[in-house]
Structure 1
Amino acid sequence: MKVRPARRSEAGALTELALASKGHWGYDDAFLASCRDELTMYPADIECRRTTVAEEDGRVLGFTTLDGAPPEGALGMMFVAPDALGRGIGRLLFEHTVAEARRLGFVRLTIDADPNAEPFYLAMGAVRIGATLSGSIPGRELPLLEYDVTSR
């Protein structure tokens, strides 16, 4: 498994990976269509969102983005391919992103988590600080989490 910066040419594939990962939780096609804009990665996003991928044998199995500017930012996106869940890829990407955030001078990251992903982030050491409105589904609230980058 290799962690590396994403390439601009991978934006479309990362979008599809994000939608497939979101779909793993049983969301229907209408829900996923509503999320498409919010989950779309554009080539211009790759560098400015500090996009990182986990790759094995030439296949991207997951990705994450580190958004914002120090001292406070966000774990903007983090998705793992459904057939690669449970292999430690999420942990690998999370730990890599936190280390990069620390190196860049971040002290705090927020995470607008899918409710199904909240237990993972809590296990990583994030704490729930509230809720935030979904950017895709009117009236839907998402867990708002915080991770103290300086804690580890």
Structure 2
Amino acid sequence: MSADDGSGAVVRDEVRLRAAVEAEAGPLTELAMRSKAHWGYDETFMAACRPELTMTGSEITAHRTVLAEQPGTGRVLGFGTLEGEPPQGAVGMLFVEPDAIGLGVGRLLFGHLLATARRLGFDRLTIDADPNAEPFYAAMGAVTVGRVPSGTIPGRTLPLMAVDVIASDG
């Protein structure tokens, strides 16, 4: 069940989606770090990932950043970014607080990114997926189409996934 609360935000069950604001870049960076660390990566790997996972204020708007929060508490449960320009773009980031993984927050965010992409005229989105997130994206309708070099670790590759925006439900 979802409803428009008049502010342009979507409220669904106990999660509210809204556009992130520039001042939230620091907290969203830390959320991304906690979410990535959930998969058991060591401190050295996580330190190497920090530059790639760092959000800046200007990226918040440029990357169409949406966040999921608990109404009433304002606790941020996750966020996602839609990057690029139609007809092809990318899910640049999609991270969920570790204690909210598996509760539908990622599905809600991904569905919102797909709906936004449809509305803006995108045909296809790609995802440079963490190997641990590949099953999630596959469940969302994305298909692994290749491998791409990691932006952080030389020699490491990541699954390159794609989703047809028009055909997918998210």
Partner of residue 113 from structure 1, selected from 129, 137, 145: 129
Q: Which amino acid aligns with 2:145?
A: I
SS of the aligned residue for 1:26 comes to coil
Q: For the aligned residues, what is the CA RMSD?
A: 0.5
User: 1:10-21 alignment to 2 at 5 Å?
Assistant: 10-21=24-35
Partner of residue 70 from structure 1, selected from 86, 93, 103: 86
User: 1:8-87 alignment to 2 at 5 Å?
Assistant: 8-56=22-70, 57-87=73-103
- The answer as to 2:146 corresponding to 1:133 is no
| Structure 2 alignment gaps of length 5 or more | 1-14
Q: Which amino acid aligns with 1:31?
A: F
SS of the aligned residue for 1:136 comes to coil
Partner of residue 114 from structure 2, selected from 80, 98, 115: 98
SS of the aligned residue for 2:131 comes to coil
Aligned length: 152
> What is the Cα deviation at residue 86 of structure 1?
1.1
| Counterpart Cα distance in 1 of 2:140 and 2:60 | 25
| Structure 1 alignment gaps of length 5 or more | none
| Counterpart Cα distance in 1 of 2:100 and 2:65 | 19
Q: Which amino acid aligns with 2:119?
A: R
- Percentage of identical aligned residues: 63
| Counterpart Cα distance in 1 of 2:167 and 2:47 | 38
Runs (4 or more) in structure 1 with deviation over 4 Å come to: none
Specify which structure has the bigger relative contact order, considering alpha-carbon pairs within 8 angstroms and separated by 6 or more residues.
1
SS of the aligned residue for 2:112 comes to helix
| Counterpart Cα distance in 2 of 1:35 and 1:85 | 20
- Of Structure 1 and Structure 2, the greater helix share is in 1
TM-score normalised by L of structure 2: 0.89
Q: Which amino acid aligns with 1:98?
A: L
Cross-structure match for 2:159:
143
